[in-house]
């Protein structure tokens, strides 16, 4: 009986850890690209509601061969994109992936995407957690 109760308690803690992810994703969207475009961009806000810092380390999508994290920077008056290996999200803060800042770049979509389509992203964090996101395709706001 003791081992059963202990097992039940441990399983409950595991479920609680999965039930309330510290990362919430808001306003996820993919910019609709013109026909024949080989590169697309995605944006969203990542909100860390937890008490510990987290780091986004990898992003995948079944719709794209590759998903890269970039940051737009101005160097000598010229806008450039800088590849980012990871993105820290301090506890209790939000990080916006938006035009002119951090964003996702995705080459070679598997199919033509139109306004209203949904794109799935899997955000993988340094602590082993994964958050699945559905982003809507839309024209530039």
Q: What is the pLDDT of residue 81?
A: 94
| Residue 126: domain span | 21-138
Annotate 102-114 with DSSP letters as a single string: EEEEEESBSS---
CB atoms inside a 10 Å sphere around CB 31:
17
| Residue 2 resides in a domain | no
Q: What is the pLDDT of residue 107?
A: 94
Q: What is the pLDDT of residue 14?
A: 40
Q: What is the pLDDT of residue 43?
A: 98
| Residue 5 resides in a domain | no
Task: Please report, for the domain that includes residue 91, its CATH number.
Answer: 2.60.40.1890
Token digits of residue 77: 């008056």
The CA distance from 75 to 68, in Å, is 20
Q: Are 55 and 74 in contact (CB under 8 A)?
A: no
Q: What is the pLDDT of residue 7?
A: 43
| Residue 112 resides in a domain | yes
Q: What radius of gyration do the chain's Cα atoms show?
A: 18
The CA distance from 29 to 38, in Å, is 18
List the chain pLDDT tens, one digit each, 141 residues: 555 443 433 343 444 444 457 999 999 999 999 888 889 999 999 999 999 999 999 999 999 999 999 999 988 999 899 999 999 999 999 999 999 999 999 998 888 899 999 999 999 999 999 999 999 999 977
Q: Total structural domains in the chain?
A: 1
The CA distance from 116 to 29, in Å, is 10
């Amino acid at each position: 009986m003791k081992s059963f109760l202990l097992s039940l308690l441990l399983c409950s803690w595991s479920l609680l850890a999965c039930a309330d992810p510290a990362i919430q994703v808001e306003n996820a969207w993919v910019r609709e690209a013109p026909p024949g475009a080989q590169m697309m961009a995605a944006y969203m806000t990542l909100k860390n509601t937890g008490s510990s810092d987290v780091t986004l380390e990898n992003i995948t999508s079944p719709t794209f061969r590759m998903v890269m994290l970039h940051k737009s920077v101005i160097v000598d008056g010229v806008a450039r994109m800088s590849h980012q290996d990871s993105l820290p999200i301090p506890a209790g803060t939000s990080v916006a992936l938006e035009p002119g800042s951090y964003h996702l770049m995705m080459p070679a979509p598997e199919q033509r995407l139109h306004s209203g389509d949904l794109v799935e992203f899997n955000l993988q964090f340094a602590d082993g957690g994964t958050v699945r996101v559905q982003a809507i395709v839309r024209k530039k706001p």
